[in-house]
A and B are shown apart, each in its own frame.
Chain A
Amino acid sequence: MNAPLSPLDRPNSYIGKALPRPNAKRLLAGRGRYVDDIQLPRMLHLAFARSPYAHARIVGVDAEAAAHMPGVRRIAVGAELAKLCAPWVGTLLHFKGMKSPPQYPLALQRVFWVGHPVVAVLADTRAQAEDAAEAVRIDFEPLAPLCGMDEARAGDAQILHDGFTDNLAFRTTLENGAVETAFAAAAEVVEVDLVFGRHTPATLEPRSLIADFEPGERALTVHHATQTPYQFQDVYARHFGLDESRVRVIAGDIGGSFGMKLHVYPEDMATVAMSLLTGRPVKYIADRGESFLNDIHLRDHRVRAALAVSREGAFLGMKVVDDTAIGAFSAYPRTSAVEGNQVVRLMGAPYRLTHYRGELNVIFQSKTQTSQYRGVGHPIACAATERLVDLAAARLGIDPLEIRRRNYVTQDMYPHTTATGYRFERLSLEACLDKLHRLMDYPALRAEQGALRARGVHRGIGIATYVEITNPSPAFYGVGGAHISAQDGCVLKVTPSGEIQCAISVTEQGQGTETIIGQIVADRLGVERERVRVLTGDTETTPHGGATWACRGAGIGGETALQAARKLRDNILGIAGAILQLEAAELDIENGEIVDRIGRARRLSLGELAALVYFRSDTLPPGVQGELTVAQHFAPKGFPFAFTNGVHASLVEVDVETGFIKLLKHWVVEDCGRIINPLLVDEQIRGGVVQGLGAALFEECLYDDQGQLLNGSLADYLVPMACETPDIVIGHVETPTRDTELGAKGCGEAGTSAASGAVLNAVNDALAAKGASISQIPMTPERVLRALGVV
């Protein structure tokens, strides 16, 4: 453990303390304000007539009957909205050769997935809009859908999009060292062919927005359940030809997002377009069925990989092919190629590995688009790598922990560059593994496993090491031409009574952003935490910034707040020094009072100082300008990413007669750098782990061969429930990044990144006694029984 940033026992030392979230009390009393809770005067409600086919031509639309239904105010088809909204294309310049067709608010000639919106219906109530949408008659000519990955790549495959010569959105290969030579020299080669199911976010709050266009000033206000209000301000301004300064996006309380609510959806654009057409507020709240069909899906990968090892268990080389199916379009503005790109770049990342070849194929098909979601590629790369590692350990008769220890990147190697070009400032892989070993009492668990196996109980222990990308620089999106900020901004203001208002561009979805920013500001400034009010999520009242994605809130937003606090502190002490005729360096701030640095005698309160500045500036010494508002921006400049690391362990019991898997316990030892609030870090880890457990055992969007989603409801699609999830034990190692004063990295995706891989290894460890193995997640009872040869 590194020394804390400041002594935890001094007044106002909040960085590192487990404090509950001030804003949670409001949510607990039912006083949240989610988008659907907002009712605006003259507001209309939007519903869509959608495609029932995965692929079809639109022959004609007859909305005559619908237009005369009760409450209907306006009906629009694709061509009308296309006139208002410039199309969008989900590609990035640094993904060379990437392609995706333009997208529009509503389908034009063809529909490309079941649920593709075709006609927009605006009515006085949502129920009326739905009634009328049902009465819209759309004449479709069904076309053959493209459903499978292999089918899409076959030589005689139909080409889904006009003007393209294949069904690949993107293809890339990476090569480092001499892979074939390494494989030729290997004592053993282990291989995997793993399938990762397509699943869906299923945030409890569906996608929600209200667009309110005011024609007089051509001003647009959008109440939008999103992580990234600044990105949407830019998108709405550019695509609708509005002045950016008159586009305001407000992201209030958000009912879960995890990456899903930062992509641009056709319904978002249609909602804004319908408000532009009518000059009235328009509300669109996806229902659960619409969410299943149209929210981005995630994963859907097939990874074939091989690892070459020496007789001593040293990793010599790795070959990887990742095929991923992304649906009919690449998502905008972040694309649908980032997940696969991270898979081929993160494979083998924790290990010393020089000789590497990775190939990525990003494939179009007739389904909902997939895109970035919590973990983005990490769970796939982690599971595939860690499965290979376990297979190598088993082949060579080496303990799974030991083979990892022998191959980890070690402390003498930093800064370290991986075979795929990622640069690590410093990781703590060995320390995390040692801590995990103690935390789970590994030898005792192995002994218990053996004893139980003798009695016919099949338990398995699985380990998965992860390395996670956090604190991204513009290398992620900015260099690819996307208007996605990698910097953040913070404005701090002293109120006349000496309280602090903090407006910052990182956003809150319940993870505790506002809490940790308040801790940092209070700590660095020297005021009580309760006296700092943090405002987020409104483009009109906060500076422009990246907001929340890729685990950047604490590391980048936190450093922004820290630097802003230092700037304000300097101003306060400068003014106080001038008033007191002392050097600023002779003064300090403690509990909101300006005190002597030596002796700590109280001089004046922040409120007294602010009152002088604001109300009696005539009494200030000549030349003193009372700057009690400061603005600070911060962009990461050192390493392109701050990599975190950690290791998970899973203990499972497999019922070899029914195929059911019981999750008994899960452990995580993680290193997210400086921990600002251990309570919140632990809960980010736990929540992330359970999303990974869902991927491992339960969650999958099932389609038939016509591209129809078969389990599109929360009764049919399985999410982890309280009765199935285990208690999760968490340990920490802290390796602060030296790129910032704060030293924080991200922690929001670490749970999801390795949980499914740990469970995959645990189930395979249990099945090994029966000579069986499984290579597809989710590991449903049926798949387990198939693996066992029972069915």
Chain B
Amino acid sequence: MSSRLRVEMIVNGEPAEAFVEPRTSLADCLRHHLRLTGTHVGCEMGACGACLVMQDDVVSHACLTLAVQAGGSRIETVEGLSERGALADLQAAFHERNALQCGFCTSGMLMTAHELLRREPLPSRERIRDALSGNYCRCTGYEAIVDAIETTARRRASAQAPA
């Protein structure tokens, strides 16, 4: 298991390469090889959502993806999405509403919210709760997260509304 393979990806808009064992997950590759520690590992089986990243513009479990499978793909993590401002309004709403406590689930929550609002600009609270059902949070009880996503959706809608 120790022979290493070279993996090339575009990570947060920049070319990245890593030498990984075939069994190395994308999450471990991002965290330990590329030092992008904003992506977290909670359950290692795709249940908790802490490891979610964008892979070719689709939200994806980095713990269920092997790094070698991700070769040639475009990966965006919370670091990259933050840097290019794609999450700025969501992050502001999460901050105002205190929609995080320990912060361990937060990157995954932001990924789910980011994708949800791209597909459904004005989801109902029930729809938001449904979309978050693959993201576990043990601190907040979810309501503040639902509020923050709902607030962001409304703000985006009113910003786009004709004057």
Using CB atoms and an 8 Å cutoff, list the residues of chain A in contact with chain B.
20-21, 24-25, 27-34, 36-37, 39, 70-71, 127-128, 131, 201-206, 253-258, 287-288, 509-512, 679-680, 683, 686-691, 713-715, 719-723, 725, 727-728, 751
Contact = CB atoms under 8 A, between A and B. Distances in A.
B98 A29 contact: no
A488 B141 CA distance: 29
Contacts of B128: 722
B106 interface: yes
Contacts of A71: 2
A19 to B, nearest CB: 9
19 contacts: A27-B102, A28-B106, A30-B82, A37-B31, A39-B32, A131-B1, A204-B50, A204-B138, A205-B40, A206-B42, A255-B40, A255-B104, A257-B102, A713-B47, A719-B138, A720-B142, A721-B136, A725-B129, A725-B143
A293 to B, nearest CB: 14
A203 B103 CA distance: 11
Give chain B's interface residue range (CB within 8 Å of chain A). Answer: 35 or more
B141 A29 contact: no
A686 B101 CA distance: 12
A683 B140 contact: yes
B19 to A, nearest CB: 13
> 3 shortest A-B CB distances, which residue pairs?
A30-B38, A27-B103, A510-B101
A27 B100 contact: yes
B91 A25 contact: yes
A509 B102 contact: yes
Contact of B105 (A204, A254, A751): A204
A204 B132 contact: no
Nearest to A730: B143
Nearest to B43: A714
Nearest to B24: A127
B143 A255 contact: no
Contact of B133 (A253, A686, A722): A722
B115 interface: no
Nearest to B136: A719
B88 to A, nearest CB: 10
A206 B77 CA distance: 21
A20 B98 contact: yes
Contact of B103 (A70, A255, A257, A751): A255
Interface of B: 1-2, 21, 23-24, 31-32, 35-48, 50, 77-79, 82, 91, 94-98, 100-107, 110, 125, 128-130, 132-133, 135-146
A284 to B, nearest CB: 15
Contacts of A27: 100, 102-103, 106
A722 B146 contact: yes
Given A127-B23, A686-B144, A24 B45 contact: no
Contacts of B105: 204
A131 B43 CA distance: 19
A283 to B, nearest CB: 11
B41 to A, nearest CB: 8
A29 B144 contact: no
A721 B134 CA distance: 8
B141 to A, nearest CB: 3
A680 B132 contact: no
Name the residue in B37, B110, B135 with the highest tally of chain A Cβ atoms < 10 Å from its Cβ: B37
A288 B44 contact: yes
A253 B103 contact: yes
B142 A29 contact: no
Contacts of B32: 39
B107 to A, nearest CB: 5
- Per DSSP, chain A at the interface is loop
Nearest to B91: A28
Given A204-B50, A253-B102, 18 more contacts: A25-B95, A28-B100, A29-B79, A30-B38, A34-B104, A36-B37, A205-B40, A256-B139, A258-B138, A683-B144, A688-B141, A690-B142, A691-B141, A713-B45, A714-B47, A715-B45, A720-B141, A725-B129
A24 B135 CA distance: 19
A687 B2 contact: no
Given A202-B138, A722-B142, A509 B21 contact: no
A205 B104 contact: yes
A715 B141 CA distance: 19
A500 to B, nearest CB: 23
Contact of B78 (A30, A36, A256): A30
A375 to B, nearest CB: 14
A255 B102 contact: yes
Nearest to A255: B104
Contacts of B46: 715
A510 B138 contact: no
A707 to B, nearest CB: 23
B91 A713 contact: no
Count chain A CB atoms within 10 A of each CB in B96, B98, B130 and give the residue with the most: B98
A686 B141 contact: yes
Nearest to B82: A29
A767 B100 CA distance: 36
Given A20-B95, A204-B104, A288-B43, A31 B38 contact: yes
A256 B100 contact: no
A256 B104 contact: yes
Given A510-B102, A686-B141, A690-B141, A32 B136 contact: no
B117 to A, nearest CB: 15
B40 A204 contact: yes
A511 B146 contact: no
Contact of B43 (A39, A509, A713): A713
Nearest to B80: A30
A691 to B, nearest CB: 7
Nearest to B132: A722
A318 B8 CA distance: 69
A29 B48 contact: no
A256 B138 contact: yes
Contacts of A32: 37-38, 103-104
A47 to B, nearest CB: 14
A206 B41 CA distance: 9
A751 B139 CA distance: 12
A687 B105 CA distance: 14
Contacts of A30: 36-39, 77-79, 82, 107
B104 A37 contact: no
A259 to B, nearest CB: 12
Nearest to B101: A510
B17 to A, nearest CB: 19
Contacts of B79: 29-31
A687 B95 contact: no
A407 B131 CA distance: 45
B103 to A, nearest CB: 3
A512 B1 CA distance: 44
Contacts of A24: 94-95, 98, 100, 103
Contacts of B35: 39
B51 to A, nearest CB: 11
A689 B141 contact: yes
Contacts of B41: 36
B29 to A, nearest CB: 12
Nearest to A684: B101
A255 B141 CA distance: 15
